[in-house]
Amino acid sequence: MDIDPQVRDILRCPACRSTLRDAVGPDGGAELVCTSPACGRAYPIRDGIPVLLVDEARRPGG
């Protein structure tokens, strides 16, 4: 994933404002996952752009 490091450092989960970690989704695509155990939403990265929309996020275990 090629997100500018300065931008990457300020990205936060739009649902709970926790930090995000890099991950690979069940479909093999890149995603950003919320580090809060209470939230845990996973946001897809499409064409190198994080889609930080709560409605587009995958819930934990989903």
pLDDT of 1: 59
pLDDT of 58: 95
Confidence of residue 60 (pLDDT cuts 50, 70, 90): confident
25's tokens = 């989704």
pTM of the predicted structure, to 2 decimals: 0.89
Contact 32, 23 (CB under 8 A): yes
- Tens-place pLDDT, residues 2-55: 678 888 889 999 999 999 999 999 999 999 999 999 999 999 999 888 999 999
Q: For 11-52, where are the E strands, in sequence order?
A: 20-24, 30-34, 42-46, 49-50
pLDDT of 48: 85
